[in-house]
């Protein structure tokens, strides 16, 4: 059974940093692209970042580019999201998710999701 478990959320002051982790199990982690998606309270979904299978290619929307960094450790079956210079508008539940396609060209959709990690940015 595919499982994704996010940790590292919490309350952080504006301008500070936080690092989320997502441990994967139940599939060959190193073969899949991984994603972070967030959802502000009462709002819709926003894609935050993507990473390819070996970690050599990463992608971000303008809203987090230069502040957030996605990375992965295939030996530890873990994907990370380093969030720096946090703003109040980064307050959200952060989900990690996987692509359905092993190796090759990803589909850029998310077929399995974690339960989410809550991040609150407030003084």
Partner 1 sequence: DIQMTQSPSSLSVSLGDNVTFTCEASENIYGFLAWYQQKLGKAPKLLIYGATNLEDGVPTRFSGSGSWTNYSLTISSLEPEDIATYYCQNNHVYPLTFGSGTKLEIK
114 binds partner 1 (CB under 8 A): yes
* Residue closer to partner 1 (CB basis): 86 or 110: 110
89 binds partner 1 (CB under 8 A): no
2 binds partner 1 (CB under 8 A): no
CB 47 → partner 1: shortest distance, Å? 4
Residue owning tokens 């504006």:
14
Question: DSSP class of residue 14?
Answer: T
* Contacting range for partner 1; rule: CB under 8 A; set: 9-17, 21-29, 68-76, 108-116: 108-116
């Amino acid at each position: 059974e595919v499982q994704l478990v996010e940790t590292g959320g919490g309350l952080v002051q504006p301008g500070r940093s936080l690092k989320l982790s997502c441990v994967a199990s139940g599939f060959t982690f190193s073969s899949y692209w991984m994603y972070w998606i967030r959802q502000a309270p009462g709002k819709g979904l926003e894609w935050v970042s993507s990473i390819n299978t070996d970690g050599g290619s990463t992608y971000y929307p303008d809203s987090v580019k230069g502040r957030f960094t996605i990375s992965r450790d295939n030996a530890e079956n873990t994907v990370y999201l380093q969030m720096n210079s946090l703003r109040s508008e980064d307050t959200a539940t952060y989900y990690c998710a996987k692509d359905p396609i092993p190796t090759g060209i990803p589909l850029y959709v998310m077929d399995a999701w974690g339960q989410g990690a809550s991040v609150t940015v407030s003084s």
